[in-house]
């Protein structure tokens, strides 16, 4: 690793999507290459094709793995795809294997402390399955690769961070999936992870209720009293700076104005609606609880615009900046 700037590994994502495009665009940004040493895990031919199509310089200083050489960016060659066989918007098994390979190698190098953090471009979960990797998504794959039992998804922007107690599930299943233990673990993982980001400072956390008005004393539901409040109380007993359950219809107003460092939310849309309202283009997905730092774009492969040259690198740039911030925060802590 660099003794000055953090080394940030960037996985290419699905080569049929917008991953290669936003990577090449992000690497042109002075506010990226001035704060880190980026190294891309991917396919040189695909990335060179993208640079040529966009009229951008391709300035990889490639070296044979596991060595990393740097010009403006390093490259770890994961696959040798034929660009003529990789079509925009049409995912393939070959692309899926390359996609998975970049994640596996990046995690291995992060675990070995050869890079400081991982930033992931978007993948296609079905293609991941077709390539032989039976994970629901990035988060579960990263958890298994690092031997981590409990992980938490955080979505973050400049003014709001939200953490999810439940993630991708039907709304009707949320009450059954919520347990005091799950919420307590979400609070504690968030506390420990953000403490590192904040350089050792205890984060201020708020926990949203599940029901309108946080249950209104049991009138609109018992989950706040029976499930959420005990988790908050136990976290407080351990010295964690956390309040709740609070009514979500007012909580985000105060959180977005800096009263809290993060909001623990009960379900996906409860947190993602305010987050994307404020940070639609620049939101970042962060996996908390891993022994390595991982951030990601907060969008998908966008097959509908792949190859059109109109994909915004804003979320990727934000993810790189957050990875750098987390790397420095962890070093400071």
Q: Do 112 and 160 sit in the same domain of this protein?
A: no
* 284 close to 298: Cβ distance less than 8 angstroms: yes
Percentage of the chain exceeding pLDDT 70: 94
Structural domain total, the chain? 2
Range of the domain at 203: 150-289
Q: Do 113 and 154 sit in the same domain of this protein?
A: no
Percentage of the chain exceeding pLDDT 90: 69
> pLDDT grade, residue 59 (50/70/90)?
low
At residue 148, does pLDDT exceed 70?
yes
Q: 278-312, pLDDT tens digit by residue?
A: 998 888 999 999 999 999 998 889 999 999 999 99
Q: 1-35, pLDDT tens digit by residue?
A: 445 889 999 999 999 999 999 999 999 888 888 89
Query: Edge-to-edge strand order for the sheet containing 152-156?
Result: 60-62, 73-77, 37-42, 7-11, 117-120, 294-297, 284-288, 152-156, 161-164, 262-265, 205-208, 242-246
Q: Do 2 and 143 sit in the same domain of this protein?
A: yes
DSSP summary character for residue 113: T
Q: What's residue 273's pLDDT?
A: 94
Q: What is the CATH number of the domain that holds 102?
A: 3.40.718.10
Question: ω before 245 within 30° of 0 (cis)?
Answer: yes
Q: What's residue 331's pLDDT?
A: 63
Select from 271, 274, 214 the least CA-distant residue to 243.
214
Q: 165-211, pLDDT tens digit by residue?
A: 998 888 899 999 999 999 999 999 999 999 887 777 899 999 999 99
Q: Do 113 and 173 sit in the same domain of this protein?
A: no
Q: What's residue 68's pLDDT?
A: 45
At residue 63, does pLDDT exceed 60?
no
> pLDDT grade, residue 70 (50/70/90)?
very low
Task: List CB contacts of 308: < 8 A, sequence separation 6 or more.
Answer: none
pTM, 2 dp: 0.86
Q: Do 245 and 105 sit in the same domain of this protein?
A: no
Adjacent-strand bridge partners of 284? 156, 297
Q: Do 53 and 9 sit in the same domain of this protein?
A: yes
Q: What is the mean pLDDT of the chain?
A: 89
* 326 close to 14: Cβ distance less than 8 angstroms: no
Token pair recorded at residue 107:
């995690």
* 158 close to 279: Cβ distance less than 8 angstroms: yes
Cα dist. 195→103, 190, 240, 261, 277 in Å?
26, 8, 11, 10, 26
Q: Do 313 and 248 sit in the same domain of this protein?
A: no
Q: Do 201 and 188 sit in the same domain of this protein?
A: yes
At residue 99, does pLDDT exceed 90?
yes
Q: Which residue has the tokens 């379900």?
A: 267
Q: Do 137 and 244 sit in the same domain of this protein?
A: no
Q: Do 130 and 24 sit in the same domain of this protein?
A: yes
Q: String of b and e for 215-248 (b: at least 16 CB within 10 Å)?
A: beeeeebebbeebbbebbebbeeeebebebbbbb
Range 127-132 average pLDDT: 89
Q: Do 193 and 237 sit in the same domain of this protein?
A: yes
Q: What's residue 3's pLDDT?
A: 53
Q: 211-256, pLDDT tens digit by residue?
A: 989 877 888 889 999 999 999 999 999 999 999 899 999 999 999 9
Q: Do 74 and 125 sit in the same domain of this protein?
A: yes
């Amino acid at each position: 690793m660099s003794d000055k700037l953090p080394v940030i590994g960037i996985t290419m994502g699905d080569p049929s999507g917008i991953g290669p495009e936003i990577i090449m665009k992000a690497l042109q940004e002075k506010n990226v290459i001035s704060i880190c040493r980026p190294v891309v895990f991917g396919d040189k031919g695909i990335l060179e094709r993208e640079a040529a199509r966009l009229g951008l310089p391709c300035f990889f200083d490639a070296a044979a793995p596991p060595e990393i050489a740097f010009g403006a960016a390093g490259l770890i060659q994961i696959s040798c795809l034929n660009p003529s066989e990789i079509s925009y918007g049409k995912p393939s098994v070959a692309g899926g294997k390359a996609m998975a390979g970049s994640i596996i190698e990046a995690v291995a190098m992060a675990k070995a402390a050869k890079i400081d953090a991982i930033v992931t471009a978007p993948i296609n979960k079905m293609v991941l399955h077709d390539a032989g990797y039976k994970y629901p998504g990035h988060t579960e794959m990263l958890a298994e690769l690092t031997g981590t039992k409990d992980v938490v998804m955080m979505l973050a922007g400049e003014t709001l961070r939200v953490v999810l107690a439940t993630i991708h599930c039907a709304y009707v299943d949320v009450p059954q999936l919520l347990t005091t233990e799950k919420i307590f673990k979400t609070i504690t993982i968030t506390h420990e992870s953000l403490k590192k980001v904040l350089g050792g400072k205890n984060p201020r956390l708020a926990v949203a209720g599940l029901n309108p008005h946080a249950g209104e004393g049991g009138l609109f539901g018992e989950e706040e009293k029976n499930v959420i409040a005990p988790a908050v109380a136990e976290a407080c007993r351990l010295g964690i700076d956390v309040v709740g359950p609070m009514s979500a219809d007012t909580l985000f107003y105060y959180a977005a104005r800096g009263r809290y460092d993060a909001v623990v939310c009960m379900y996906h849309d409860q947190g993602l609606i305010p987050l994307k309202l404020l940070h639609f283009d620049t939101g970042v997905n962060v996996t908390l609880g891993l022994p390595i730092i991982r951030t990601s774009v907060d969008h998908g492969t966008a097959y509908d615009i792949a190859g059109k040259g109109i994909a915004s690198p804003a979320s990727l740039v934000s993810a790189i900046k957050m990875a750098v911030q987390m790397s420095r925060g962890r070093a400071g802590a």
